Amino acid sequence: MKIGELAQMSGLSASRIRFYEAQGLIPKVERQGNGYRRYPPQVLQTLNIIQRAQQAGFSLDELKLLLPDPLTGEFNEDDLVSSLSRKVEQIEAMQLHLAQSREQLLAVIDDIRSRPDGMGCNANAERVLKSFKH
- Tens of pLDDT along the chain (134 residues) come to 899 999 999 999 999 999 999 998 888 887 888 888 899 888 998 899 899 989 988 898 888 878 877 677 777 788 888 888 989 999 999 999 999 999 999 999 999 999 999 999 999 989 988 887 65
Instruction: Give CA–CA dist 35/11, Å, rounded.
Output: 23
Cβ(27)–Cβ(44) below 8 Å: no
pLDDT of residue 37: 84
Instruction: Give CA–CA dist 81/65, Å, rounded.
Output: 10
Instruction: Give CA–CA dist 46/73, Å, rounded.
Output: 11
Cα 114 from chain centre: 39
Backbone angles phi, psi at 41, to 5 degrees: -60, -30
First to last CA, the chain: 64
Cα 115 from chain centre: 41
Helix (H) or strand (E) holding 101: helix 77-113
